[in-house]
Amino acid sequence: MIQNEVVRVAVTTTPINVGDSMLRDETVRTGADSAARFVMTDSTNLSLGPSATLKLDRTVFNDQHSYRDVAIRMTTGAFRFVTGHSEKTAYKITTPLATIGVRGTTLDILSQRSRSVVVLQEGAASVCTKSSQCVQLTQPGDAAIITSTGGKVGITKTNTPPWTFAANCAASAGLCAVNQYAAASPTITPAVQDDGMLCGR
């Protein structure tokens, strides 16, 4: 699914269209009035709200439909992350302030300059600061709030999230739908190793 402006960020930016692949080491940015959803090879669904930037740092395939290791850096913006068929230990999600481990999870993630918010919608997650201060999210609605003030990073846990991705879901039809990779794949695919693709209407 793609709405308005979604681009690859490299030496030059290029637009991304429905059905395009997302490649390792690629940075993707949505425009101010834009949104996108990627469905990865293992059926991980990753939704981006407006003005969001992420990088697919690393992918190591386990087999044709799962990863042994996948690292995603959510630099700035709002995201919804739904795990796919890979082992949960394969996923490494980072923001500038936090590292997130998942266990069968749907997470809403907000990454800002001096604050990250991670809200559990389903499953479980471990959220840690770069200095290994961690909280466990085990109930829907649990949230970790990581803040940086004067160079000092702190983390708190609450069950009253200050934010969720729900407004983004409501604003863009299909943004928060969950698809399997095979259902999202175009009928004819090039003979290249895809890490994921944009999908939708």
Amino acid making up residue 76: T
Q: What angle do CA 191, 197, 198 make, to 5 degrees?
A: 140
Helix (H) or strand (E) holding 74: strand 66-82
Phi-psi region of 138 (alpha: psi -120 to 50; beta: other; left: phi over 0): alpha
Backbone angles phi, psi at 182, to 5 degrees: -60, -35
- Asked if residue 6 has pLDDT above 90, the reply is no
Q: Which domains does the chain have, with CATH numbers?
A: 2-198 (2.60.120.1440)
Identify which has the larger pLDDT, 154 or 41: 154
* Distance (Å, whole) CA 96 – CA 115: 9
- Tell me what pLDDT residue 199 has: 41
* Distance (Å, whole) CA 150 – CA 50: 28
pLDDT tens figures, 60-83: 777 777 888 889 999 999 999 999
Backbone angles phi, psi at 142, to 5 degrees: -60, 140
